[in-house]
Structure 1
């Protein structure tokens, strides 16, 4: 398949996308998952036509008298036939958009399609010869139910409870707990829209003795897990989520001290630790992180996290990482990030000068700590807005760069040519 360069716009600046000459993106998810919002955002970034099941069929169905259907169209005795007709209209509209524009983003629950079988084959046939990229948005059922209740759509009152689907086809899973920007940061690179690497950055001319890795959002894609755990914490203790979002990357004890009186700190820390350890199951590495981490000699790498030992250990194990010899957690320091103490301690334990350390981070608090320690900083998008990442280099995945060992034994960072169409 021939790659074609398109440009998407982030903050007014164009970024190249190596897209195939024909591209279909299918965004699936149950009601309340945020699939329509994400689908629209993808379509805007790709400048592709958006075909949404609700936009194509719901106005017509809502205009029909319910007595003609034997009830609301979602619960009508003819519901199966109505579904078949809705999806037939969706497929035909999507096929027209794809054949004329070369790209299309299609949004619907796609419950039956995710299970494979005849419905999935009908969708594939409609979009042929392009093989669709399927993005599946899913999340905590209680959150999705709350969103449906909050939006107050009439059809939701008639919608039967539909459990989340375990896809039987290949999908890119996206957590509904993430913001749209965070979801885009995971979807766009998979479609070929990569953040350009500044190959002239000074960081590529430097030599290092060690690499110090943050954990959450850097090695492990735990952002949704963190948000979910702290949301449940906020609901349990009846506190605002705003302070949590504003202080991402700082230790839990700092967040707890901002939100609750001193006499409740121990209880709160124990509660959030239990939430985060329990939610760690099923976490995965960040794009390219496992390979990048493995490429650094074991004696020259460390993990420096704001998490506690139980939380950090659970997330490392879930994502398949071996615990490094130098493993600095919040339990090892008096002052956590954004104070430089965690990175200074890691450098000391490795026996290296902090000024010859490369720090890999994703959060402003961690970047501030690394800079204060005198380290160079490589930042990853996906958690925080790019304009807040004041690092020596910003990338959208650790597969965009690599570590090389020079003839003298020093470590150097080098850009990687990423090709999605091999």
Structure 2
């Protein structure tokens, strides 16, 4: 697992783009519309999961369920209005360009739909360096995160074994998915001490992964 990676598998939201606060607020607005004030724990538990899965979960939390579609009718307009304003995460563009410049196959493995990725990515042309994508609505995807299917599919699309891939994640669902798929997982979490051995590894900034890559290449 300590070898140089054969490929990079990147989450998008909260890893390459700082969209998670917007997603969290969008679900908060939708739940509040139907009388529920989401707790911080509830909002965090939605991270990394597909939109439909999140809507169904929020609906289960409601005292009087209204259905996923009713929640999405409130959540989606808020998200679409604010997500294009989301900045890149620190070090994200540098890491992607490192992979591109060094000929590493790369894929985005996200729970977001293809449409959502399109409008979130538009202000960030450097994301076009990653041509291979696994979307939350990918027709080949049976189950989303936290199941291993998204990262298994991403590795297959790149022609690599998951055990040869470095996966970059920030959410519990994403970390669980990538670990179950057999990847070496780098978890971006600025609130926890860094752990650069074993699997998963915890980093406060994406620059730490670049430093490790440079050291591995020496």
Could you say which TM-score interval applies, normalised by the shorter chain?
0.7 to 0.9
- Higher relative contact order, structure no. (Cα contacts within 8 Å, ≥ 6 residues apart): 2
Specify the alignment match of 1:329 in structure 2.
Answer: 135
> Counterparts of 1:224 and 1:415 in 2: how far apart (Å)?
33
Question: What residue number does 1:258 align with?
Answer: 57
**In the alignment, which residue of structure 2 is the partner of 1:282?**
85
What TM-score comes out, normalization by structure 2 length? 0.81
Q: Which residue in the other structure is 2:96 paired with? A: 293
Q: Which residue of 1 aligns with 2:171?
A: 363
- What per-residue deviation string (whole Å, max 9, x for no partner) do you get for residues 146-201 of structure 1? xxxxxxxxxxxxxxxxxxxxxxxxxxxxxxxxxxxxxxxxxxxxxxxxxxxxxxxx
Query: Which structure has more strand as a fraction of its residues?
Result: 1
Are 2:43 and 1:237 equivalent residues in the alignment? no
Name the counterpart of 2:121: 316
Distance 1:391 1:249 in 2: 19
Deviation at 1:373, TM superposition (A): 0.2
Question: What are the superposed Cα offsets for residues 281-318 of structure 1, whole Å, 9 maximum, x if unpaired?
Answer: 32211111101011113760000111122222222223
Aligned partners of 2:105, 2:147: CA distance in 1, in Å?
Answer: 22
Change (3 A) 1:247 1:280: closer
Cα drift, residue 415 of structure 1: 5.6
TM-score w.r.t. length of structure 1: 0.44
Contact 1:292 1:398 in 2 (8 A): yes
Q: Which stretches in structure 2 are left out of the alignment for 5+ residues?
A: none
Q: CA 1:276–1:223 in 2, change beyond 3 Å: closer, same or farther?
A: same
- Give 3-state SS (helix, strand or coil) of 1:218's partner: coil
Aligned to 2:213: 413
Paired position in structure 2 for 1:377: 185
Is this contact kept in 1: 2:56–2:67, CA < 8 A? no
Cα separation, partners in 2 of 1:263 and 1:241, compared to 1, 3 Å: closer
CA shift in 2, pair 1:311/1:271, >3 Å: farther
After superposition, what is the alpha-carbon deviation per residue over 1:384-408, rounded to whole angstroms, capped at 9, x for unaligned?
x537x995322211122327xxxxx
Higher mean C-alpha deviation, range 235-244 or range 215-224: 235-244
1:247 shift after superposition: 3.2
| Superposition CA RMSD, Å | 2.6
CA gap 1:246/1:392 in 2 versus in 1, 3 angstroms: closer
1:206 aligns to 2:3 (yes or no): yes
Query: Would the alpha carbon gap of residues 386 and 236 (structure 1) be closer, same or farther in structure 2, given more than 3 Å must change?
Result: same
Q: Distance in 2 between matches of 1:303 and 1:357?
A: 13
Paired residues, what number? 202
Structure of larger gyration radius: 1
- From the superposition, tell whether residues 362 and 286 of structure 1 become closer, same or farther in structure 2 (CA, over 3 Å): same
Per-residue deviation, 1:355: 0.9
- Residue 270 of structure 1 and its aligned partner are, at CA, apart by 4.4
Change in CA separation of 1:250 and 1:238 when aligned onto 2, cut-off 3 Å? same
